[in-house]
A and B are shown apart, each in its own frame.
Chain A
């Protein structure tokens, strides 16, 4: 009986400890302990969409003819977030840019942007100064070979207490020489549940 009481007390003690709120801790951003929500795009959803879109782009062989000595220049065009969730689209696009840069076959222009706006205005000014200094100020500036556009859509549904959200990531790569798309990809992330949870 005494042993049962001891076991009971130790179990109560452990349970009380477990019942306390979760203390703050660092977790791996690419790990398996991330919070999964239903109504918004989570960090792991961006990872998954970017990974699969880059895989699709790479498998298509669109950059097969390019190499580290002859890189394709990519310009980032219109990126539209058409969901109800407000987030910075760079959470997706930056991952794709990094993956393409790391392939060694692509360079991303930071001085040519949508509507003439450079992503890096200082680099643009410095480039113009350099061209002026070298007597190339009147020449046509080098333009990207490809442009990337993206649209993120959302479809919601519910049944009773269970909610479902689908986030659809659509991406196109256009060859500016022809004006036609060379690759298009779509990746969906669908989540279902009634409340957020930790883990996938």
Chain B
């Protein structure tokens, strides 16, 4: 067991899979010699060499297209898109190409690749380098969508993503890169499609993803200590496949549901989950499901504005308390 940053876990996860499988290659902008603009891939170029770890031009379409062509013909590429906001300039591959080739070809073509990307706010980068766009990927049939919140999950879910036969969009949260966590020694391989109950509780279920997980946990501690409300916190981890059984099971015990989403309000992942719960567990609920999200705005650059845009532990506490206590 060692303490590792989320940032260093990325490189360890990639290295673990590249060591295991010579068909795994990795490329993106500034990822090789420079070790990544967020320093997430330091040492990989030195360890695996220029054939397997490659710097690309600023050509997001070429990066994702090449990853797809390599994947469909036998490699297991990991491609990096530096900021998830840049998905908008290569969205054809994410929306039209990766997820549809197997279906359109009646199963003749495969697309086993991973797109890693820096997602989320907190860096004061403004509206085009800070978004949480996991819902852009979640809405597309044929993709799998993962967003880890801890260093251990970064490694385990990245390994699962690389080994998965389908295209996986892997959202790393930029504000989590410096955070630390315990990571076991040796190989770590997790399973896609599994949520994790990170804090058991009996009064309410709080669902969170990525940076919102530590905030939900902090809120749960405060709710217990200050208001006697015992919340169960679930790290959703994987939006597709979605572990609805863990979520429905929790709601059946707590009878209340809150989602904490960094995305802007409309069509966030929580909306889909709330609709599932409304459909399938309506009579388990003792009150209306509540979504706690960023307002439906582009994100501002100024720190004091960005800080009040995202759900905070305080906002979560306030919203849960008001909903629970009326």
Whether chains A and B associate is no
